[in-house]
Structure 1
Amino acid sequence: MTAPGPASASGVELRHLRAFAAVARRRSFTRAAQELLITQPALSRTVAQLETHLGVRLLDRSSRGVALTDTGAEFLVHVERTLASFEAALSAARGALTLRLGFSWLLPDPWAQRAIAAFERASGAQVELVRCDDPLDALARQSVDVALVRGGRPVGSAVHTVHLYDEQRVAVHAREETEDDGREGRGALRWQDAPQWTLVVNTASGTTGPWCWPDGNGPRRYVETANFDEWLESVAAGRGLGIVPDAAERRIHHPALRFMPLTGAPPSPLRLAYRPETGTGSALLRRFLDAALEAAVTCTDAGQA
């Protein structure tokens, strides 16, 4: 690719911003093209046009993948806010209200289905599901209105949280080729044996990591990953042990993984995080939080949460 030329921002269109944001989120032209339903060459041309119009390089391309430049990272913050404002303006013009719920992996069931259905019936608004590697980062960028957060990691003083319920933890590791698919005779791991583990950690949105053992009694070795997909495939490849909420055992069907009970582990809290100044409107957000809490109570009473 040739170096960007002199800036000419007058040629920048929404399609340029959407293309750049998709590549920046996915860190891949291939995955971004699939998301946007266009060809990869067309996507590459669109992003190159944006860089030429701006006169700056936004992305570094290499054989290892795609990375944001410092300028690109700063630009992405403004792009996501611009796109969010544009979508909000369209919704207002159509007379429709939308609340964007950010999540990193596997919405908890049946809580999500019950909460969303109750909210949409009561409010007439719609919930837009936004999959993101780091929901708290998406909340800070204002690309979501409320974020589903698993685990007990700090969220920062600018963010408020509502506790829904606690999930139990289970262990998962790579299945040996000689293992069958039966569940009989599964051994259990003990939380107190953590120093013996090599633990695979999702540093963006994982529920179990070094922060779970503040007294230093945690695993001696960690393998860090940047999102759920990397975490999943690292565990499947035998890089180490994974610890996840038990919802994953019901929802993940990976032939290379085996789940095991985990005794003595503290529960993993499930929370909703939001910023009090959210642009969606405090009344709409409050109605969603009320529906979410009611669904959490229902699930807990039924023993399904």
Structure 2
Amino acid sequence: MAGTDIELRHLRAFASVARHRSFSRAAEELLITQPALSRTIAQLENRLDVQLLDRSSRHVELTDTGAQFLEHTERALADVDTALAVVRHRATLRLGFGWLLPDPWAQRTVSRFEEHTGASVTLTRTDDPVQALRQHTVDVALVRGDAEVPTGMRAVRLYDEPRVAVCSEHSQLTRFPHLDWADVPYWPLVVNTVSGTTGPWSWPAERRPAEIIETANYDEWLETVAANRGIGIVPEVAQRRTKHPALRFVPLVDAPPSPVSLVHLPGTQRSLIRRFLEAALRSTPE
């Protein structure tokens, strides 16, 4: 009998493609590859023995049958999600971060996720969010910077943060109206080697800062800069959120933006993570 072996993954895949009118965006939302998504949709159409999507145009469109099927699919998925919410209120997703969750993104994401799923979010501050993810002490890690994603993990890039320079109130840099990115290597640079976004890796080998002062976490980095051991480079959220009487912030010109991403392990808390990523992407700055 046609349709008896259809699974929820088929329906969610179809609904996502229909909503986005795009296989690539739907694949990103569902945390699967585009070929895998195409196979899932093909399985659904074969098992129903109907064509649901028209792929002949530049954009994916619904056939008349597909449009009718989508109405029933969305109702069915809504009923399933409602049933799951009854038990999800006991579920918790652990979000790991190294320092200063970006605002208002974090507040919007957590609020939207908890409202739509009934689950709760536990915020876990850790010096190394990726290591915490590897040790399964968090489910999702907020990561700043453009370091490579470790093998076996997946990352979803949210948006980019502008950077700003920071120095001690006694630093010569306070006399400058701004600092050019190209001139940063001429200053001693204080680097958070664990979760920092700017370090010697941020420049080509022949143009890297001559003097690097290494620290192991944000607090050490902060106090080292305040002690006038060197300058630091951070996302501008630090300027708004860090209150330290010995620090001064200086505009940074022509600096590359600092990417913000969510990293997770596939196969762990998959449904909750998918819903959290949906909330996170919808909360990103425009």
- The residue matched to 1:108 in structure 2 has which SS? coil
1:251 matched residue in structure 2: 241
Aligned length in residues: 201
1:161 matched residue in structure 2: 155
The answer to whether structure 1 residue 212 and structure 2 residue 202 are counterparts is: yes
Cα offset for 1:155? 2.4
Cα offset for 1:177? 9.4
1:276 matched residue in structure 2: 266
The answer to whether structure 1 residue 195 and structure 2 residue 195 are counterparts is: no
1:293 matched residue in structure 2: 281
Contact 1:194 1:217 in 2 (8 A): no
Return 149-158 or 117-126, whichever deviates more. 149-158
Once residues 166 and 212 of structure 1 are traced to their aligned partners in structure 2, the CA distance between those partners, rounded to angstroms, is: 15
1:165 alignment partner AA? Y
Cα offset for 1:154? 1.5
- The residue matched to 1:119 in structure 2 has which SS? helix
Contact 1:153 1:211 in 2 (8 A): no
2:170 alignment partner AA? E
Once residues 195 and 176 of structure 1 are traced to their aligned partners in structure 2, the CA distance between those partners, rounded to angstroms, is: 19
Once residues 197 and 189 of structure 1 are traced to their aligned partners in structure 2, the CA distance between those partners, rounded to angstroms, is: 11
1:140 matched residue in structure 2: 134
1:231 matched residue in structure 2: 221
2:113 matched residue in structure 1: 119
Once residues 255 and 188 of structure 1 are traced to their aligned partners in structure 2, the CA distance between those partners, rounded to angstroms, is: 20
Once residues 211 and 293 of structure 1 are traced to their aligned partners in structure 2, the CA distance between those partners, rounded to angstroms, is: 28
2:194 alignment partner AA? A
Contact 2:171 2:228 in 1 (8 A): no
Once residues 205 and 88 of structure 2 are traced to their aligned partners in structure 1, the CA distance between those partners, rounded to angstroms, is: 54
Cα offset for 1:186? 5.9
Contact 1:191 1:262 in 2 (8 A): yes
The answer to whether structure 1 residue 104 and structure 2 residue 88 are counterparts is: no
1:171 matched residue in structure 2: 165
| 1:23-53 Cα shifts (integer Å, max 9, x gaps) | xxxxxxxxxxxxxxxxxxxxxxxxxxxxxxx
Cα offset for 1:197? 1.3
Once residues 132 and 171 of structure 2 are traced to their aligned partners in structure 1, the CA distance between those partners, rounded to angstroms, is: 39
Q: Please list every run of 5 or more consecutive structure 2 residues that lacks an aligned counterpart in the other structure.
A: 1-86
* Aligned CA-pair RMSD: 2.2
- The residue matched to 1:216 in structure 2 has which SS? helix
Cα offset for 1:107? 0.6
Contact 2:89 2:119 in 1 (8 A): no
- The residue matched to 2:283 in structure 1 has which SS? helix
Cα offset for 1:196? 0.7
Contact 1:225 1:231 in 2 (8 A): yes
Once residues 226 and 158 of structure 2 are traced to their aligned partners in structure 1, the CA distance between those partners, rounded to angstroms, is: 30
Q: How does 1:66-77 map to 2 (within 5 A)?
A: none
- The residue matched to 1:172 in structure 2 has which SS? strand
Contact 1:172 1:260 in 2 (8 A): yes
Cα offset for 1:118? 0.1
1:157 alignment partner AA? T
1:42 matched residue in structure 2: none
1:152 matched residue in structure 2: 146
Q: Could you state the TM-score of these two structures normalised by the residue count of structure 1?
A: 0.63
Once residues 195 and 201 of structure 1 are traced to their aligned partners in structure 2, the CA distance between those partners, rounded to angstroms, is: 12
- The residue matched to 1:235 in structure 2 has which SS? helix
- The residue matched to 1:243 in structure 2 has which SS? strand
- The residue matched to 1:164 in structure 2 has which SS? strand
Which ranges of 4 or more aligned residues in structure 1 deviate by more than 4 Å?
Answer: none
